[in-house]
Structure 1
């Protein structure tokens, strides 16, 4: 059921962090420094620099908030941020450094699917709990082979199901798909093909682009000749923006859907409103102005949005996942301490595996069988109106 739109309540600024944690006791290295160290392997340059920098900003803001809250007692949370340049080999070097450092309690990885997948064996062998923000299912599945690897972000199966459900409502008959030629893009083709077949909707053609491509116009033109009812864009935000412009230039008059990976800036930029009326599957955070703060979790999401935009002058959709990753680690540390245990890497891993919270991104639940925490209920339909994202309906 779609959320009801509303104005922002006037007293939102009074919302404070709900998490209350006991003081933590770490190993010898942490006792000497008084720090809890999280390694962050992010795409700060190269093809995915925009989302990587958004992750860095979100991580730093969340760490600052945790430290100011005193949630960890006398200890302070600190990040060690490394740039992997969207390069698997560079990422492997970073992960090797992190896993060899006994002061590192956990690792957070960025949007690079191949980087996270390649890191799984190392973090398992070195027993360092790691939360990846990359979308491919293979990042965290099967859980039996990814005991120390977790994933936070939209899942291809959930996104595809939500898109096809709406296409069924709109009585779509023929669909074309633009996707990246990487792990997540290939997964999108597979899941959408299956979901569309169940709904008796024809996938008439697909076109792939490389994750590093800065021109998708040729692929888009091939998709819309002749016109399908709908075009689904299954790419990161920068390429989705390019695809919107190319669709407008091709005078495509059908429906356009974005997968959740396309969630980038709140405002859709200058120039012609080529994304106007585009539908996207994502979390409420991209349209938080339309959400009534009827629960502490919704109020916290509004406050996060306000804090982020006040600090950085804008909002990036995936920032909430990075903040939730920090909170999951902090919560695991607090639970271990509250139970009288020592929150070492193995303890943190075990507690991450049973995490259950209503986070900034929405409901999150990890289990021993499922290390991808974002629940389908976190997703909703958004629509581009007036140059920004709003709740659909």
Structure 2
């Protein structure tokens, strides 16, 4: 062999060795650079579009933050977003398509209660881990075997009713009337509030229901006001709750107004500022985190999220933190589940999700095999409408 050929062969061998060591240091596993694909089913048109678009903004902001942070190693979060048009049948088709898409790791659903409840069977049949941002307890209330792939991130009706009743009691309210949405969550509200009112010796003077598509709630609110209660409780989505405060003002109601967590929405009340003034809302502290001193890392993170969202979108929506926490839970679970690089392991991710714990942007979140509804009761606090926006009460 000539000296030239010998040198060339040695150089080639060293180059191959260097390449091998660069891609896989001394036997280490190659870095996983496959995307974490999340299917997203949202109400981007139809009567619930305002909330759906707030969720979409939050999901995209959280995706961008995670991808820029380097926390996922060589991986990136990708969102496949579909509009269900606020229609449960369309939502179920979307979930079926996501389930059949082998690239989709998990799914996030929006705030439509009927959509999430109706999709439960499809979710379990497709074995696609899904976090619903809707509030209905029916999403996760059945046995673990029937809800094994379904999770929920939203205030629970029992926790919200407990907090509302405690505030009514503190304010000395003896009689209250209720306006609720005519869906699973609204009916759940009636049941839980009746039970809490009975224990607190508060009389429920009247109850009125409104469909989620109703854009005029004047008549049912006037019927409640005619009973002359000490307080009105609105257990409806944000848009209807604001319409209800306006209707109560026009009906010259002089008592106190209380809103369930489902009635949260934009931080600034806009056209509803005057009618909602001094109304009380049960919701998470993140909605008004600019009123809170950041004494812990979790509070500091919530404050930064509030600032980042406000800086990008010019305002703040209370529900945004739930969407961001859902992305974080899925990303964390994917990293913890491990598995073969480039392979989607839905079962592994599901197993990790149901034991997930974190101090999220929404508050403390704890999932267990027996409880797939993760938001803890202590996440809720009392807010009050003052000067055209929500403030921390007290």
User: Shared fold (TM-score greater than 0.5)?
Assistant: yes
Matched, 1:111 2:118: no
Q: Is the 8 A contact 1:24 1:333 kept in 2?
A: no
**How far 1:296 moved relative to its partner?**
0.6
String of CA shifts for 1:310-342, please: whole Å, max 9, x gaps: 111111110000000000001111222399997
Partners of 2:387 and 2:272 in 1: CA distance? 12
Paired residues of 1:336 and 1:343 also in contact (CA < 8 A)? no
Aligned-partner Cα distance in 2 for 1:59–1:159: 25
- The match for 2:75 is 75
- C-alpha separation between the residues in 2 aligned to 1:24 and 1:286? 42
Give the direction of change, closer, same or farther, for the CA distance of 1:341–1:313 in structure 2 (3 Å limit): closer
With 67-76 and 172-181 compared, the bigger mean Cα shift is at 67-76
Q: Do 2:273 and 2:389's aligned partners in 1 also have CA atoms closer than 8 Å?
A: no
- The equivalent of 1:137 in structure 2 is 137
Give the structure 2 partner of residue 231 of structure 1: 232
> Number of residue pairs matched?
365
Alpha-carbon shift at residue 271 of structure 1 (Å) = 6.1
Q: Corresponding residue for 1:253?
A: 254
Conservation of the 8 A alpha-carbon contact between 1:160 and 1:188: yes
1:378 matched to 2:383? The reply is: no
Residues 135 and 379 (structure 1), Cα distance of their counterparts in 2 relative to 1, 3 Å cut: same
The question of whether the paired residues in 1 share the 8 Å contact of 2:36 and 2:331 is answered with no
- Structure 1 unmatched runs, 5+: 1-22
Q: What is the deviation of 1:121? A: 1.1
1:127 match = 127
Matching residue of 1:89: 89
Q: Structure 1 residues 284, 85: CA separation in 2 closer, same or farther (over 3 Å shift)?
A: same
1:119 to partner: Cα distance:
1.2
> Any residues of structure 2 matched to 1:345-384 within 5 Å, and which?
345-384=346-385
Is contact 2:273-2:387 (8 Å) kept? Answer: no
Larger relative contact order (CA 8 Å, sep ≥ 6): 1
Q: Say which SS state the counterpart of residue 382 (structure 2) adopts.
A: strand
Alignment of structure 1 residues 194-343 onto 2, 5 Å: 194-270=195-271, 273-337=274-338
In structure 1, what is the equivalent of residue 42 of structure 2?
A: 42
- Do the aligned residues in 1 keep the contact of 2:242 with 2:272 (CA within 8 Å)? no
Aligned-residue RMSD, C-alpha? 1.8
For the 8 Å contact 2:289–2:303, the answer to whether it is kept is yes
CA contact 1:280–1:383 (8 Å) conserved in 2: yes
Q: Secondary structure at the match of 1:333?
A: helix
- TM-aligned CA deviation for residue 141 of structure 1: 1.5
Distance 2:30 2:308 in 1: 27
Could you say which residue in structure 2 is the equivalent of 1:14?
Answer: none
Q: Deviations over 1:41-99 (max 9, x none)?
A: 00000010000000000001100111001111112110000000011111111111100
Cα distance, 1:25–1:329 mapped onto 2, change above 3 Å: farther
Determine the C-alpha separation between the residues in 1 that align with 2:266 and 2:30.
36
Which secondary structure state, in structure 2, belongs to the residue aligned with residue 147 of structure 1?
Answer: coil
Between Structure 1 and Structure 2, whose CA radius of gyration is higher? Answer: 2
Displacement of 1:270 in angstroms is 3.0
User: 1:355 Cα shift?
Assistant: 0.7
Partner SS, residue 375 of structure 2: coil
Higher share of residues assigned helix: 2
Spell out, residue by residue over 1:225-268, the C-alpha distance to the aligned partner (whole angstroms, 9 max, x if none): 03100100000000011001111111111111000001111001
Q: 1:76 to 1:231 in 2, by over 3 A?
A: same
Instruction: Write the distance in 2 (CA, Å) between the matches of 1:253 and 1:309.
Output: 34
Please give the TM-score of this superposition, normalised by the length of structure 1: 0.90
Secondary structure of the residue aligned to 1:131 is: strand
Normalising by structure 2, report the TM-score. Answer: 0.90
Give the Cα separation in 2 of the matches to 1:342 and 1:356.
25
Structure 2 segments unaligned to the other structure (5+ residues): 1-28
Cα distance 1:341–1:64, how it changes in 2: closer, same or farther (>3 A)?
Answer: closer
Cα distance in structure 2, aligned partners of 1:339 and 1:289: 43
- Cα deviation code 1:272-328 (max 9, x no counterpart): 611000000000111111111001100000000000011111111100000000000
